[in-house]
C-alpha cells in the first residue's frame, strides 16, 4: 500500500533500518547523554589522582636531598565495605579514621591511608578485607631527615610544595598526578591496569640543584644543635656562604624538624626558617658595617682615636659598655677589637642620620634579598625622621634595627670579598623535564659597598678581634679567622628585657683569601653565658675545625 | 563479480558464479569478531580456563566449522530444498521441542533454549530460523493462493507452529525474530497489507507477553528508563551506553576497554557491539554497520537478478541475517528492549555462527542457480 508505493520494494525498509542504526550509533558515541558520561567517570574510580615522580632536589655535589620513592596507599570503596570490619584496623590506622569507617559510609571512594610505610602496608594487606584496595604512588622522601629541612621545605600529601624550595620551585618539581584508572570488577576485586595510564605521563619533572654542600650543612646543624643544648637557647641560626659568589653553602635553623613525619609539619615554630624568616637585633656583629660606612663616608679616619668611658649620655639615653668597664682611649681599630659600645656610638654620631640610614640600606639591610626562598623577611630599619635621641647611637652598636641572619651574613661576605655586596643565592641550577637548564644561580653584584682598602682594613681588624679581642674563643692555630662577636639585648614592647640576649658570631676564613663566611646566632641562651664570644664563637670554631678535618678547605698557616 | 571463487572446482568453467562479496564480507566480520573475543575474554578465560585464549580459540574452531557448513550448503542443489524443506522445518521444530524436555534441554538463565548432545550445546532457534526461511519461501512461491487466504493458510500456520515451542522456552527475542522473518517473507511474496495488520494486531499480544514475566517487564522498564535503577535492572543498558560514550570517535584502544571488566554483562556475546564501540570508537562501529550495509547491497543486487522461488529465498536468507542484526543492535543501542539475540558473525557463540554461515552457503548456491538459464 503506502509503503509499497513509497519504497517500491521491501528492501527499502531494510535500508531505512540501517539509516536509523547509523544515526543512533553516531549520537550515542559522539554526543552521549551527560548522565552516561557521569556514570563512566564515577564507576572505575577513574579520577583517582595519585602522586607521580616529583623532581629531585640535589645539593651542590649532586646528592639527593629530596626525592620520590614508590609507596603504598590504601583506599576503601564503601559499596563493598562492611563497616563491622572497621575495628580490625584499630592500632594500624588513626582512631578518627577507624571511627569513620566503622559506620555506614556514602560514596564510592575514601582514602584510608596514603603513602604508608611498608610495615603498615603489610599489616593492612594481611587483613585482606573486602572493599580495601591498594594502589602504588610516589612518596616524597627526605633521605637526610631533618637536614636542611627549612630550606627544602615540604609538600602536602598530593605532592604540592608548601614551603621552602619545594614551594618556590613547585612549577619545576611538581609532576601532575597520574590519573589512575582503577578498574573494579563487579566481584569487587581491583584490577591493576595502571600500566596504561602511566604511559601517558610526560617525561617527568625537572630538578633543582642547590648551592648547599650537605657535608657542611651536616656539620653546621650538628654543631648548632650542640650549642643550643649547651646554652639552653630558644632558637638558633647559622648561615654559611661563599663570599666570592654569594652562594649559600649551608643554612641551618633551630628548632628543626623531620619533613618525613607529617605531624611535624603543623608546628609553626619548628618549620619557620630562622635564617631568613626571623629578624633580630644584630648587636656588635653590626659594628664592622657601621665602621665601614663611617670610613667610606669620610666621617672617621682609621688613624683617629676616641676616649671610651664606661658610659656616655646621648640625648635622652645612655650607651654603656657591655663589659661594665671603661676602656680609656682607644684607636678606631681597638674600638672594634674590644667591641667598645661608647667608642662605636661616638663614631656613629659622626655620620649624619640620613647618610647612616642610606649607608645601612646600601648594605642590603631592610630590603628584599631576592634569594630563591620563600618567607624571607626584609628586616626593620626606621627612617631617619624617626631617629630621635639615642636611636642613631643605638644603630651604631647594632641595636634598634632588626636584620635576618642571611642579611647579616651577606653583608659580612662583602667585607670578606673586598667590598662587593652580592646577591645571595641558594639555587645553582634548575633543569626542566627535558634536561634543559632553565635557571642558573650566579654571582650578581648589587653594589660596591667598600673600597678594597677599607675592606681589607676591616678584615684585618676582625682578624685581630679573634686573635686577641672578644672573639678569642673562635681562634684556631692552623687557620686565620676574621670575626666579630655580638651580644644583643632583646627588645620586647619597646623595652630591652633584662637577661634576654642574642649571642652571635660573624666571621670568615682564611682571612687572607676567604673561602667561607659564616654567621652563628644563638637566641636567648638561658644557662648563664650569653656573650657572643662565649656562646656563638665556640660553635663557629667547632664548625671550622670540623670542616678543616673533613678537608673542606686548605690550611693556610697562621702565626698565632 | 565473476571472478574465480573458492568453489571453482565444483562449478564447470565459464559458468556464472555467486558474488564473492557475499562471503568475503561476513568472513572479515567474523575475523574481526574473533579478535574482539580474544581481547574481551582474555581476562575471564585466564581465570576460568587457565589460558587467556580458550574462548577465542573456541570461536576460531566454530568459524572453521561454519565455513565447512557453508561449503556443504553450497554443494546442495536447490531442488533438494524444494523437496525436503517441509521435513527439515518439522525437524527443526522437533529440536525446538526437545529444549523443553528436561535431560535434553539445558536450562540457562531462566530459559530452556539449548539442547545438548555429545558435549556440545546448540540453540535450535538458529536452525529454525534457516529452516523456516527456506520452507516458507517455498510454500509461498509454489502456492497460487492470494491475499488473506494465502496469509491465513500458509504464513500464519507456519509461524504459529514455529512460535509455540518458543513461547514455552520462553524466548521473546526468538519469537520476535521468527514473527518478523515470517512477515518479511510474506511481504516480499504477497505484499504489505496483511503482515501490516498482523503486526498491528500482534503488538498488544507482544505487550502481554512482556508483562507476564517479571524479568521481561524489568527489561522493558529498564529500556524505558534505565536510570530508575542504574545499579539493578538498568545496569546492563546503562553500561552499554557507557561503553559507547567511553569510545567516542576513536575509541579507547584495542584491549583497553574497561567495560569488559564485568561491567558489561555478555560483553563478548550479545553486547559485543558496545565493546567494539568502546575500544574502536565510532570509527569501529561505523565500519561494522557499513560492512553489513555493503553485504546487504550485494544481496539486493543478487536479488534483482533472480525470480520466483530464488528471489524469495534470497530475500528470506538476507533478512534472516539482518533481523537478528537489527534486534541485537536495537537492544544494544537502546532503540528497543533487550533480547538475547547475538550479533551475526561477530558475537561469541557456535550455533549462531554455524547457521549464519550455512545461510551464506545457501545464498551463494541460490545466486549461482539464479544466474543459470
The CA distance from A484 to A287, in Å, is: 8
Residue of chain A with shortest Cα separation from B253: A196
Interchain CB contact of B75 with A (< 8 Å): no
With 80 as the cut, is the pLDDT of residue A169 above it? yes
Residue reference for cell 551506553: B241
| B184 part of contact set with chain A, CB < 8 Å | yes
Which of A210, A231, A253 is the last residue in one of the domains? A210
Q: Write the Ramachandran bin of B147: left for phi over 0, alpha for psi from -120 to 50, otherwise beta.
A: left
In this prediction, residue B231 carries a pLDDT of: 65
Q: Per-residue pLDDT averaged across A110-131, rounded?
A: 85
Query: Residue A40 domain-assigned?
Result: no
The residue of chain A nearest to residue B331, with distances taken between CA atoms, is: A21
Flag whether pLDDT at A427 surpasses 90: yes
Nearest by CB to residue A24, choosing from B253, B262, B335, is B335
Higher pLDDT, B109 or A210: A210
Beta partners for residue A486, in sequence order: A504
pLDDT at res. B8: 43
A156 neighbors A199 (Cβ within 8 angstroms):
no
B1 pLDDT exceeds 50?
no
Among all chains, which residue has been given the C-alpha cell 662565649? A534
Query: Quick check: is A151 in a domain?
Result: yes
pLDDT of A72 strictly over 90? no
C-alpha cell of B367? 545466486
Q: Which residue of B has its CA nearest to A31?
A: B245
| Rounded Cα gap, residues A14 and B314, in angstroms | 14
Name the residue among B238, B249, B258 with its Cβ closest to that of A44.
Answer: B258
Task: Identify whether A557 is part of a domain.
Answer: no
Q: Do the bridges between strand A154-155 and strand A247-254 make them parallel or antiparallel, or are there none, so unpaired?
A: unpaired
Residue B261 in contact with partner chain A when CB distance is under 8 A: yes
pLDDT value of residue A47:
52
Residue B222 — very low, low, confident or very high, per pLDDT cuts 50/70/90?
confident
Give the pLDDT score at B4: 43
Q: What is the C-alpha to C-alpha distance for residues B157 and B164, in angstroms, rounded to an integer?
A: 11
All residues of chain B having their beta carbon less than 8 Å from the beta carbon of residue A183 are 258, 261
Helix (H) or strand (E) segment spanning residue A504: strand A495-509
Q: Which of B262, B315, B335 sits opposite A186 (nearest CB)?
A: B262
Q: Which range among A241-255, A486-500, B154-168 has the greatest average pLDDT?
A: A241-255
Same domain (yes/no): A386, A306: yes
Residue of chain B whose Cα is closest to the Cα of A181:
B258
What length is written for chain A?
560
Instruction: Report CA-CA distances (Å) from A197 to A43, A48, A173, A179, A303.
Output: 16, 11, 20, 7, 75
> Chain B within 8 Å of A27 (Cβ-Cβ)?
no
Beta strand ranges found along A211-326 (DSSP E): 235-242, 247-254, 305-308, 311-314, 317-320
Burial (0-12, 13-18, 19+ Cβ within 10 Å), B175: buried
Q: How far apart are CA B177 and CA B179, in angstroms?
A: 5
The ipTM (two decimal places) reads 0.89
Give me the domain span that covers residue A73.
46-210
Pick from A305, A333, A335: which is nearest to A323 by CA? A335
Is residue A12 a part of any domain in this protein?
Answer: no
Q: Are residues A177 and A255 in the same domain?
A: no
CB contact under 8 A, B244 and A17: no
| Cβ contacts of B184 on chain A, cutoff 8 Å | 10
Q: Give the end of a domain, one of A151, A185, A210.
A: A210
Chain A interface includes B245 (CB < 8 A): yes
**Whether residues A138 and A225 fall in one domain:** no
Cβ separation B296–A25 shorter than 8 A: no
pLDDT of residue B2: 42
Instruction: Tell me the per-residue pLDDT of B252-281, one tens digit each, with 9 for 90 and over.
Output: 877 777 777 667 777 788 889 998 998 899
User: What is the pairing mode between strands A207-210 and A57-58?
Assistant: parallel
Which of A18-22, A261-265, B310-314 bottoms out in mean pLDDT, i.e. has the lowest? A261-265
- A161 within domain boundaries: yes
pLDDT band at A560 (very low <50, low <70, confident <90, very high): very low
Grouping H, G, I as helix, E, B as strand and the rest as coil, residue B363 is helix
pLDDT of residue A183: 59
Is the pLDDT score of A149 beyond 60?
yes
Look over chain B and give the mean of its residue pLDDT values, rounded to a whole number: 83
Task: Let me know whether A388 and A405 are in one domain.
Answer: yes
Q: What is the pTM of this model?
A: 0.60
Rounded mean pLDDT, A98-126: 84
Q: How far is B66 from chain A (nearest CA, A)?
A: 25
Maximum alpha-carbon separation in chain B: 63
pLDDT at site A33: 83
Residue A212 has pLDDT above 90, yes or no: yes
Lowest mean pLDDT across A253-262, B95-104, B361-370: B95-104
Same-domain pairing of A104 and A239: no
**Averaged pLDDT, A240-245:** 96
Please check the confidence at residue A556 and state whether its pLDDT lies above 50. yes
pLDDT at A202 over 70: no
pLDDT of residue A179: 62
Same domain, A162 and A262: no
CATH number for position A333? 3.40.710.10
Residues from chain A that touch B322, judged by Cβ atoms under 8 A, are 14, 17
Instruction: Of A552, A470, A486, give the one whose Cα is nearest residue A525.
Output: A486
Check pLDDT > 80 for residue A309: yes
B329 and A21 within 8 Å at the Cβ level: the answer is yes
- Note the pLDDT tens digit of each residue in A452-463: 999 999 999 999
Query: Comparing A32-46, A191-205, A234-248, A504-518, which segment has the lowest mean pLDDT?
Result: A191-205
pLDDT at B20: 87
Q: Which residue of B has its CA nearest to A45?
A: B258
Chain A CB within 8 Å of residue B246 CB = yes
Closest residue, chain A, to B43 (C-alpha): A191
Q: Is A201 helix (H, G, I), strand (E, B) or coil?
A: coil
Q: How far is it, in rounded angstroms, from Cα A337 to Cα A485?
A: 9
Residue of B241, B292, B326 lying closest to A28 (CB–CB): B241
- Full strand arrangement of the beta sheet holding A495-509: A247-254, A235-242, A516-523, A495-509, A482-492
CB contact under 8 A, B196 and A44: no
Q: Answer yes or no: do B263 and A43 touch at CB < 8 A.
A: yes
Cell for A31? 554526543
Handedness of CA A208, A212, A215, A221 (dihedral sign): negative
Residue A201 pLDDT > 90: no
Query: So what's the pLDDT on residue A36?
Result: 81
Question: Is the confidence at residue B114, as pLDDT, over 80?
Answer: no
C-alpha cell at A305: 682615636
* A19 part of a folded domain: no
Query: What would the grid cell of residue B40 be?
Result: 574481551
Q: What pLDDT shows up at residue A93?
A: 87
Given a cut of 50, whether residue A194 has pLDDT beyond it is no
A251 and A351: one domain? yes
How far away is chain B from the Cα of A28, in angstroms, using its nearest Cα?
A: 6
Q: How far is CA A233 from the centre of its chain?
A: 21
**What band does A277 get if pLDDT is binned at 50, 70 and 90?**
very high
Longest Cα–Cα distance in chain A: 131
Name which of A148, A129, A159 is nearest A52 in CA terms.
A159
**Cβ pair B193:A1 closer than 8 A:** yes
- Judged by CB atoms closer than 8 Å, whether chains meet at B333 and A18 is answered as no
pLDDT digits (tens, 9 = 90+) for A516-535: 999 999 999 999 899 999 99
Averaged pLDDT for residues B152-179? 86
Q: Has residue B110 got a pLDDT over 60?
A: yes
Residues in chain A within 8 Å Cβ distance of B193: 1
Handedness of CA A64, A68, A72, A73 (dihedral sign): positive
* For residues A182-205, average pLDDT: 49
Partners of residue A380 on adjacent β-strands: A402
CB A336 within 8 A of CB A415: no
- A24 to chain B: closest CA residue: B333
Number of domains in chain A: 2
Same domain, A111 and A174: yes
| Residues in B touching A40 (Cβ below 8 Å) | 242, 245-246
Decide if A95 touches B, using CB distance below 8 A. Answer: no
- Inspect the interface and report whether the beta carbons of A11 and B303 lie closer than 8 Å: yes
| Contact call for B263 and A1, based on CB within 8 A | no
- What does the pLDDT average to over B350-368? 91
Q: What is the mean pLDDT of residues A265-278?
A: 90
Residue corresponding to grid cell 539482518 = B322
Among A134-148, A464-478, A539-553, B74-88, name the one with the lowest average pLDDT. A134-148
**A33 → closest Cβ in B193, B241, B329:** B241
Contacts of A427 (CB under 8 A, 6+ apart): A165, A169, A208, A209, A210, A211, A372, A439, A441
Tell me if A181 is assigned to some domain. yes
A522 and A473 part of one domain: yes
A228 shares contact with chain B (CB less than 8 Å): no
Of residues A312 and B371, the one with the higher pLDDT is A312
Q: Which of A144, A178, A210 is the last residue of a domain?
A: A210
Instruction: Give the Cα separation of B370 and B373 in Å (integer).
Output: 8
| pLDDT at res. A7 | 43
Q: How far apart are CA A423 and CA A442, in angstroms?
A: 9
| Shared domain check, A230 and A164 | no
pLDDT in tens, A12-49: 889 999 999 999 999 998 988 888 877 776 666 555 66
| A556 is a domain residue | no
pLDDT over 70 (residue A359): yes
Is the model more confident about B52 or about A334?
Answer: A334
> A29 and B245 in contact by Cβ < 8 A?
yes
Please report residues of A whose CB lies closer than 8 A to that of B326. Answer: 17, 21
A26 in contact with chain B, both atoms CB, cutoff 8 A: yes
Q: pLDDT over 70 for what percent of chain A?
A: 90
pLDDT tens-digit map of B329-357: 998 998 888 888 899 999 988 888 999 99
Inter-residue contact B341 to B324 (CB < 8 Å): yes
Same domain for A193 and A274?
A: no
pLDDT on residue A3: 45
Cis amide leading into B334 (omega within 30): no
Asked whether residue A509 falls in the same domain as residue A421, the answer is: yes
Q: How many Å apart are CA B128 and CA A117, to the nearest integer?
A: 64
Closest-CA residue to A240 (of A553, A540, A545): A540
In this complex, the residue of B188, B277, B285 whose CB is nearest that of residue A10 is: B188
Q: What is the pLDDT of residue B103?
A: 73
Mean pLDDT to the nearest integer, B226-237: 73
Q: Is residue B218 less than 8 Å (CB to CB) from chain A?
A: no
The residue-averaged pLDDT of B288-296 equals 95
Q: What is the CATH number of the domain that holds A146?
A: 3.90.1310.10
* CA distance linking residue B371 with residue B373, whole number of Å: 6
A199 touching B (Cβ < 8 Å): no
Predicted pLDDT of residue A237: 96
| Cα–Cα dist A75/A96, whole Å | 15
pLDDT band at B238 (very low <50, low <70, confident <90, very high): confident
Q: What is the mean pLDDT of residues B184-193?
A: 86
According to the model, what pLDDT value does residue A275 have? 95
Give the residue from A2, A8, A9, A14 with the most B CB atoms within 10 Å of its CB, the best one to mutate. A14
CB-CB neighbors (< 8 A) of A15 in chain B: 293, 296
Q: What angle do CA B33, B36, B42 make, to 5 degrees?
A: 135
**Contact in structure between A517 and A508 (CB atoms under 8 Å):** yes
Q: What is the mean pLDDT of chain A?
A: 87
The larger pLDDT score, comparing residue A196 to residue A495, is at: A495
Q: pLDDT at residue B64 above 90?
A: yes
- How many CB pairs lie under 8 A apart between chains A and B? 101
Pairwise pLDDT comparison (B199 vs B43), residue with the higher score: B199
Q: Spell out which residues of chain B touch residue A1, defining contact as CB-CB under 8 Å.
A: 191-193, 196
Predicted pLDDT of residue B9: 42
Chain B residue with Cα closest to A40: B242
Compute the nearest-CA separation of B366 from chain A (Å).
Answer: 18
User: Residue A170 has which C-alpha cell?
Assistant: 613547585
Interface test with B, best of A20, A29, A185 (most B CBs within 10 A): A29
Amino acid at each position: 500500500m503506502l509503503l509499497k508505493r513509497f519504497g517500491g520494494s521491501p528492501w527499502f525498509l531494510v535500508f531505512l533500518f540501517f539509516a536509523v542504526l547509523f544515526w543512533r550509533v553516531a549520537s550515542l558515541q559522539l554526543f552521549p547523554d551527560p548522565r552516561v558520561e557521569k556514570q563512566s567517570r564515577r564507576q572505575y574510580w577513574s579520577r583517582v589522582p595519585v602522586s607521580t615522580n616529583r623532581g629531585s632536589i640535589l645539593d651542590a655535589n649532586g646528592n639527593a636531598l629530596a626525592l620520590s620513592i614508590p609507596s603504598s596507599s590504601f583506599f576503601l570503596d564503601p559499596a563493598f565495605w562492611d563497616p563491622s570490619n572497621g575495628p580490625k584496623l584499630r592500632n594500624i590506622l588513626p582512631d578518627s579514621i577507624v571511627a569513620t569507617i566503622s559506620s555506614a559510609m556514602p560514596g564510592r571512594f575514601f582514602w584510608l591511608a596514603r603513602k604508608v610505610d611498608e610495615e603498615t602496608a603489610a599489616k593492612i594487606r594481611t587483613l585482606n578485607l573486602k572493599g580495601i584496595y591498594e594502589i602504588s604512588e610516589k612518596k616524597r622522601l627526605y633521605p637526610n631527615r631533618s637536614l636542611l629541612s627549612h630550606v627544602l621545605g615540604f609538600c602536602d600529601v598530593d605532592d604540592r610544595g608548601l614551603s621552602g624550595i619545594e614551594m618556590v620551585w613547585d612549577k619545576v618539581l611538581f609532576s601532575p598526578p597520574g590519573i589512575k584508572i582503577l578498574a573494579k570488577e563487579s566481584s569487587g576485586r581491583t584490577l591493576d591496569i595502571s600500566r596504561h595510564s602511566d604511559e601517558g605521563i610526560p617525561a617527568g619533572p625537572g630538578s633543582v640543584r642547590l648551592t648547599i654542600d650537605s657535608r657542611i650543612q651536616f656539620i653546621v646543624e650538628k654543631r648548632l644543635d650542640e650549642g643550643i643544648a649547651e646554652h639552653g637557647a630558644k632558637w638558633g641560626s647559622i648561615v654559611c656562604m661563599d663570599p666570592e659568589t654569594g652562594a649559600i653553602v649551608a643554612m641551618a635553623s633551630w628548632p628543626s624538624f623531620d619533613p618525613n613525619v607529617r605531624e611535624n609539619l603543623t608546628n609553626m615554630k619548628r618549620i619557620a626558617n630562622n635564617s631568613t624568616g626571623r629578624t633580630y637585633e644584630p648587636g656588635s656583629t653590626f659594628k664592622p658595617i657601621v665602621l665601614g660606612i663611617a670610613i667610606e663616608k669620610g666621617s672617621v679616619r682609621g688613624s683617629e682615636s676616641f676616649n671610651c668611658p664606661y658610659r656616655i649620655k646621648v640625648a635622652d639615653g645612655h650607651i654603656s659598655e657591655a663589659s661594665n668597664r671603661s676602656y680609656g682611649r682607644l684607636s678606631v681599630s681597638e674600638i672594634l677589637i674590644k667591641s667598645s659600645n661608647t667608642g662605636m656610638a661616638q663614631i656613629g654620631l659622626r655620620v649624619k642620620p640620613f647618610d647612616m640610614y642610606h649607608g645601612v640600606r646600601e648594605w642590603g639591610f631592610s630590603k628584599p634579598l631576592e634569594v630563591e626562598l620563600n618567607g624571607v623577611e626584609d628586616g626593620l630599619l626606621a627612617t631617619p625622621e624617626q631617629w630621635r635621641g639615642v636611636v642613631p647611637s643605638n644603630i651604631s652598636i647594632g641595636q634598634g634595627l632588626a636584620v635576618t641572619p642571611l642579611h647579616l651574613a651577606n653583608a659580612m661576605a662583602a667585607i670578606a670579598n673586598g667590598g662587593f655586596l652580592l646577591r645571595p643565592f641558594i639555587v645553582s641550577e634548575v633543569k626542566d623535564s627535558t634536561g634543559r637548564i632553565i635557571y642558573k644561580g650566579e654571582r650578581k653584584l648589587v653594589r660596591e659597598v667598600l673600597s678594597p682598602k677599607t675592606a681589607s682594613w676591616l678584615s684585618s681588624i676582625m682578624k685581630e678581634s679573634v686573635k686577641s679581642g672578644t672573639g678569642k674563643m673562635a681562634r684556631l692555630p692552623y687557620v686565620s679567622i676574621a670575626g666579630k662577636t655580638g651580644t644583643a639585648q632583646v627588645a620586647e614592647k619597646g623595652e630591652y628585657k633584662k637577661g634576654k640576649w642574642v649571642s652571635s658570631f660573624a666571621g670568615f676564613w682564611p682571612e687572607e683569601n676567604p673561602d667561607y663566611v659564616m654567621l652563628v646566632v644563638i637566641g636567648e641562651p638561658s644557662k648563664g653565658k650569653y656573650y657572643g664570644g662565649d656562646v656563638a664563637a665556640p660553635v663557629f670554631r667547632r664548625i671550622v675545625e670540623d670542616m678543616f678535618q673533613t678537608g673542606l678547605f686548605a690550611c693556610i698557616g697562621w702565626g698565632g | 563479480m565473476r571472478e574465480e571463487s573458492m568453489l571453482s572446482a565444483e562449478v564447470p568453467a565459464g559458468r556464472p558464479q555467486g558474488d564473492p562479496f557475499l562471503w568475503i564480507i561476513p568472513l572479515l566480520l567474523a575475523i574481526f569478531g574473533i579478535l574482539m573475543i580474544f581481547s574481551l575474554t582474555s581476562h575471564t578465560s585466564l581465570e576460568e580456563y587457565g589460558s587467556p585464549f580458550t574462548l577465542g580459540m573456541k570461536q576460531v574452531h566454530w568459524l572453521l566449522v561454519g565455513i565447512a557448513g557453508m561449503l556443504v550448503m553450497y554443494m546442495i542443489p536447490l531442488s533438494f530444498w524444494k523437496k525436503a524443506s517441509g521435513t527439515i522445518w518439522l525437524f527443526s521444530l522437533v529440536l525446538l521441542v526437545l529444549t523443553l524436555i528436561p535431560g535434553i534441554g539445558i536450562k540457562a538463565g531462566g530459559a530452556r533454549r539449548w539442547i545438548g548432545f555429545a558435549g556440545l550445546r546448540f540453540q535450535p532457534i538458529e536452525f529454525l530460523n534457516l529452516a523456516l526461511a527456506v520452507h516458507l519461501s517455498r510454500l509461498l512461491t509454489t502456492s497460487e493462493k492470494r491475499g488473506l487466504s494465502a496469509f491465513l493458510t500458509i504464513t500464519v500456520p507456519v509461524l504459529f507452529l514455529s512460535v509455540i515451542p518458543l513461547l514455552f522456552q520462553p524466548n521473546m527475542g526468538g519469537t520476535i525474530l521468527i514473527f518478523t522473518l515470517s512477515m518479511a517473507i510474506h511481504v516480499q511474496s504477497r505484499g504489505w497489507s496483511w503482515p501490516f495488520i498482523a503486526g498491528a494486531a500482534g503488538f498488544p499480544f507482544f505487550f502481554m507477553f512482556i508483562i507476564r514475566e517479571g524479568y521481561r517487564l524489568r527489561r522493558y522498564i529498564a529500556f524505558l528508563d534505565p536510570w530508575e535503577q542504574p545499579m539493578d535492572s538498568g545496569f546492563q543498558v546503562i553500561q552499554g551506553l557507557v561503553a559507547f560514550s567511553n569510545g567516542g570517535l576513536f575509541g579507547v584502544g584495542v584491549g583497553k576497554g574497561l567495560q569488559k571488566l564485568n561491567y558489561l554483562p555478555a560483553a563478548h556475546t550479545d553486547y559485543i557491539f558496545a565493546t567494539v564501540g568502546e575500544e574502536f570508537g565510532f570509527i569501529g562501529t561505523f565500519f561494522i554497520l557499513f560492512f553489513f550495509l555493503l553485504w546487504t547491497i550485494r544481496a539486493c543486487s543478487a536479488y534483482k537478478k533472480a525470480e520466483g522461488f530464488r528471489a524469495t529465498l534470497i530475500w528470506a536468507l538476507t533478512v534472516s541475517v539482518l533481523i537478528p542484526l537489527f534486534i541485537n543492535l536495537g537492544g544494544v543501542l537502546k532503540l528497543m528492549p533487550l533480547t538475547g539475540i547475538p550479533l551475526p558473525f561477530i558475537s561469541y557463540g557456535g550455533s549462531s555462527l554455524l547457521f549464519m554461515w550455512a545461510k551464506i552457503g545457501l545464498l551463494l548456491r541460490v545466486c549461482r542457480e539464479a544466474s543459470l538459464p
